[in-house]
Amino acid sequence: MAFEIANEAFEKAFGKSGGKGEKELLDSFMEMLNKYLAGRKEWTAAAIRGWLRNGGTLCTFRCREDVVQPLIDDMVDRRIPFVLVKSHDGTTGFLIREKDTLTARTSISNVLKNLSGYCEITTGEQAGIIYRKAKSKDKTMLLLCGLSETEIYYLEEEAKATLPGKAIGLDRMSDGTFMLTCHGRSIFEEKSRFCESLMEARLIANGETADSLAKRRKKREEYIKEKTAGFPDKEGSMDSPVWIVGNGDKYVKRGPDGFEAGHAEEVAGEVFLSKELDVPLSDSAYERRMNSALAKITGHICLYSIQDVLEHFRSKKNFIRDAKETGQQKLIKSASAIVMEKTAKENGKRLHGWKKRIDEYQQNMGILITAAKEGKIPSGYTKTDILRLRRIMRTFGLDMNKAERGLERMSSLQIYEREAGPARVEDIEKLLAVIRGEDVDMGIDHTSRDIETGLEM
């Protein structure tokens, strides 16, 4: 069998310019690739292996570290099989079938568009003020109460993609939980996938991947603390260098006189740091250039010695997200599509208040996924719906017995409404206390409006 790989693509991926020995190198690479694919069970590996068996050609492209995971997610959604490889300069390369090139370009464009998005994260009061001034005639704000710190972290991670160009408010309540304030109409716009992300947060933060998400949150908090302080060394001064590394091969080194950025390379089992950029403190764009370098790193951590840095790059694990977390995301996405289709058929053109819509959505999601877990067909759904979800559970090896708490939380979110405009957190605290039946002096007439239709502030 003859295997081919596009020469230009191969050169871009592996830094080869042709010449004597290229055929031997290519043959050796294809032999290793086929051995690798033969040992993999994923559908992506099977698709690439079958393509090569039939004489298909591979192409490749590279991307920044911060783009890798979003691109993987999008390509999986589009059913584009791929193999990840490391290029000569430390960046990640994707090997794909030649016939998927145009679809992959669409995928890349979509990911870059999402990454360039922006969702303003502020307080609940400020979010209300923003939407009071917005052009939308609908000024209804939703208050989502009882979210955990890890759930909020997940929603913050996803905010750019789920609510591009919008704003949300986050407030810590007196009991340690969080309240998220959002604009009702915005979260149900066609381009928004906020409701999906909300369900993902509830399931992932309380299921079998809860510990890994919590560790990711804690690591992020530690990094933000160090970044805010200017990356001090272990002694709390700026005299000694500090290396910022992450999931990929990029690094930033903060020194007494400026910073450098580069990547790690492994040659014959030894790791070397290759410098790409050197910026002195005197540079007028120092902060901007450093933030740009840091943005190319994901999963940031700070290290304080060159030995620790080399060991990090020598022993670090694959930085691709846990497959089970990806599986839970796919499960939520598929279940959400089924629920939305069912709701559209039942409601037709009838409109409901935003609170009622999200209440109905979370209840249906809990019912559907629980039924799929138990192998049952709930009223209003089909056998095909359930088999579709169970196939995802099986493909990603999801242990749904560990998802009990997540399923419970998917259906138990406290949701209230109020009109857009200023709203102090202390007033909301008092109002929630009244809802719980406590005797509180509100200083306002909290009985002037039915809680089911909205909370007057």
Q: What is the pLDDT of residues 386-432, one digit of tens each?
A: 999 999 999 889 999 999 999 999 988 889 988 887 766 666 666 66
Tell whether 310 is covered by a domain.
yes
Range of the domain at 105: 4-115
Q: What are phi and psi of 121, to 5 degrees?
A: -110, 115
29 and 171 co-located in one domain: no
336 and 196 co-located in one domain: yes
149 and 15 co-located in one domain: no
Average pLDDT, rounded, for the chain: 83
Tell whether 255 is covered by a domain.
yes
Label residue 5 by pLDDT band (50, 70, 90).
Answer: very low
Label residue 130 by pLDDT band (50, 70, 90).
Answer: very high
302 and 362 co-located in one domain: no
Task: Report the alpha-carbon distance of residue 350 to residue 320 in Å, rounded.
Answer: 43
171 and 205 co-located in one domain: yes
Task: Report the alpha-carbon distance of residue 143 to residue 322 in Å, rounded.
Answer: 31
Q: Are 437 and 451 in contact (CB under 8 A)?
A: no
Q: Are 271 and 314 in contact (CB under 8 A)?
A: yes
Q: What are phi and psi of 163, to 5 degrees?
A: -135, 60
Total domain count, the chain: 3
185 and 234 co-located in one domain: no
What average pLDDT does range 197-205 have in this prediction? 96
Q: What is the pLDDT of residues 160-170, one digit of tens each?
A: 888 888 999 99
DSSP annotation string for 10-75: HHHHH-----TTHHHHHHHHHHHHHHHHHT--SHHHHHHHHHHHTTPEEEEEEE-HHHHHHHHHHH
What average pLDDT does range 114-133 have in this prediction? 87
16 and 92 co-located in one domain: yes
Query: For position 386, what pLDDT does the model report?
Result: 97
Tell whether 450 is covered by a domain.
no
24 and 38 co-located in one domain: yes
DSSP annotation string for 245-305: E-SSSEEEEEETTEEEEEEEEEETTEEEEEEEEEEETT-TTHHHHHHHHHHT-SS-EEE-S
Task: Report the alpha-carbon distance of residue 244 to residue 254 in Å, rounded.
Answer: 8
Q: What is the pTM of this model?
A: 0.76
List 120's β-bridge partners, or say none.
167
List 264's β-bridge partners, or say none.
273
Tell whether 154 is covered by a domain.
yes
Helix/strand/coil for 146: strand
Task: Report the alpha-carbon distance of residue 263 to residue 245 in Å, rounded.
Answer: 9
Tell whether 263 is covered by a domain.
yes
Query: For position 23, what pLDDT does the model report?
Result: 67
Q: What are phi and psi of 403, to 5 degrees?
A: -105, 10
Tell whether 25 is covered by a domain.
yes
Q: Are 111 and 68 in contact (CB under 8 A)?
A: no
Out of 290, 315, 340, pick the residue that ends a domain. Answer: 315
